[in-house]
Structure 1
Amino acid sequence: MHSLELLLDPTSDEAVRGEWRVLSAAGLPSQGDHAGTSNAPHVTLVARPGLDPAADARLLPLTAALPLPAELGGLLLFGAPPRGLVLVRPMVVTGELLDLHARVHESLGGAGDVPHTVPGRWTPHVTLASRLTPDQVARAVDALADADIPSTRPVVLSQLRRWDPSTGAIIALGPVTADEGDGAGRRPRRSGERTRDGLE
């Protein structure tokens, strides 16, 4: 499934990775277990069977809205046994975040989105762990509580990227930094294939 994702700034990214490490240390499934170099905490804006690379040029100006302050909420579960449960932190929805999401979808056009990324049904979140049993969920909640991790946390959404599973590439779309100039002739940056697991 192709996707457009918002990355967190380095401080926010490290805070989420800290939660991943807590789960791993407790012997529980963790998003941090995935070895792909591009595996990173993120919020999925769009997920659909295909994304036209030609749309990248239309998406780049929308990244002027970044960085965008946001907040991660308390723990939330997706899914149902026996397939496995997904432990996430939902993103507290703001007008600015909804506006960016709507403009991204308007820019892309088309249809076929995964339901939880459609405007009006979008459930923005950062995944902590996938394929948990009910017992593991209880242990995960206890492990995070014992580590004294706050139930909510301010974060910063800093970058938009596109995941292309057909090539295993991550394409950074922006915002353009000072050392990248106006983007003229800028080549998309790519990284290794990421293991996908559970609800993105």
Structure 2
Amino acid sequence: MTQSLELLLDPELDALVRDQWDELRAAGLPSQGNHSGPSNAPHITLAVAQKVPDEIEDALRALALQVPVSIRLGGLLWFGQRDGRQILVRSVVVNPELLALQAEAARLYAGLPGTDDLLTPGRWSPHVTLGRRFRPDQVGAAFQTLGYFSESEGQAVALRRWDSDAKHAWTLLPPGDPA
């Protein structure tokens, strides 16, 4: 199916997003918190493809040298789906280092089968997903549930790969890192 390249958030931002997942779930609304698998973590997707060849694994590991990267979570956004349902996300305010990291990831994934045009530089909308498959009549309830909150600053502290076929996630360590 897909293999993605993702940034993981620092413990404070991770906890903040998980709290929002819990608030949505407690209100009976769609929430990423409904997925209890160990690989389910708040993240920012940098690139996706059907399969990532072994030949670029070292280049992807080299990207880990650019982490940590500053992250600022912004307000709520809604992304529409073809079936009429909505995805609720926290926006991520872009900065030069984040854009450079994503551009390099997109360059490495360019030409691979199953890449997504929405992840090409200039079209990428960085975000952290809060919930999927919202019906239009649930939009107001989601805003009421989460209420007002300010932007939150922190860091993306790890780069990971996710293989949805194998249901396997792993952290990419920089070249030469023995851990």
| Whole-angstrom CA distance in 1 between matches of 2:59 and 2:48 | 17
User: Is 2:17 aligned against 1:16?
Assistant: yes
Moved over 6 A (4+): none
1:107-153 deviation per Cα after TM superposition (whole angstroms, max 9, x unaligned):
344244212111221111000010001221110100111xxx52421
- Scaled by the length of structure 1, what TM-score is found? 0.82
User: Is 2:66 aligned against 1:72?
Assistant: no
| Whole-angstrom CA distance in 2 between matches of 1:46 and 1:174 | 17
Aligned 1:18-97 pairs, distance under 5 A: 18-80=19-81, 82-97=83-98
- Give the RMSD, CA atoms, in angstroms: 1.8
| Whole-angstrom CA distance in 2 between matches of 1:45 and 1:141 | 27
Deviation of the 1:62 alpha carbon: 1.7
Q: Which residue of 2 aligns with 1:117?
A: 119
Q: Which residue of 1 aligns with 2:106?
A: 105
Percent identity between the two aligned chains:
43
Q: Which residue of 2 aligns with 1:173?
A: 172
Q: Which residue of 2 aligns with 1:158?
A: 157
1:106–1:138: structure 2 CA closer, same or farther, 3 Å change rule? same
| Whole-angstrom CA distance in 1 between matches of 2:46 and 2:82 | 26
1:74-106 deviation per Cα after TM superposition (whole angstroms, max 9, x unaligned):
100001574310000111111111111112223
Match of 1:144 among 122, 143, 146: 146
Unaligned 5+ segments in structure 2 are: none
1:175–1:67: structure 2 CA closer, same or farther, 3 Å change rule? farther
1:141-181 deviation per Cα after TM superposition (whole angstroms, max 9, x unaligned):
00111xxx5242113111111111222111210358xxxxx
1:150–1:49: structure 2 CA closer, same or farther, 3 Å change rule? same
Q: How many residues align?
A: 177
